Amino acid sequence: LAGAARSVRTVRATDLHRPVRVRAEATPLGVVPGDGDRGSLVGVLPPLGRLDAAALRALADAAARHGATDLRVTPGRGVLVAGLGSAASASSLLAELAGLGFVVAPEDPAAGLVAGAGRPGCPASHADTQGDARRLAAALLAGPTTSP
């Protein structure tokens, strides 16, 4: 504990409003095969980088149904579901989480999108950033359009 005091950093209110750089590659997405006694992992990102209580509950319930033993939040705002006994369990969980709106593949355009609360969740916001980000992800997924 003697060195702990040196590692403590004071957080100022202004620090909370700095942009956060998020790298999707910080969280492996999809099924990550285990080695030896460790079972497979499943890596996912919550939609738009926001994991609310309802999404966390749905994630935890799905993970438990598939036999997972652990949930780990990653620095890249992702979640690793650990302790899945088989690749089949991991694949089944991955499909269920995709159906719940989680990002499950690195090629998904939403893997790199993070949006703040926006209107009406943030009193300083002038835009529906969540809705804008969802529309952007859908447009990126649809691919380029041709102009007349």
pLDDT on residue 38: 65
Question: For 25-73, how does the pLDDT look when each residue is reduced to its tens digit (9 = 90+)?
Answer: 567 889 987 765 667 889 999 988 888 899 999 999 999 999 998 999 8
Token couple for 26: 């910080």
The pTM for the full model equals 0.70
Question: For 119-144, how does the pLDDT look when each residue is reduced to its tens digit (9 = 90+)?
Answer: 777 777 788 887 887 888 778 777 77
pLDDT on residue 148: 57
Check if the beta carbon of residue 94 is closer than 8 Å to that of residue 102. Answer: no
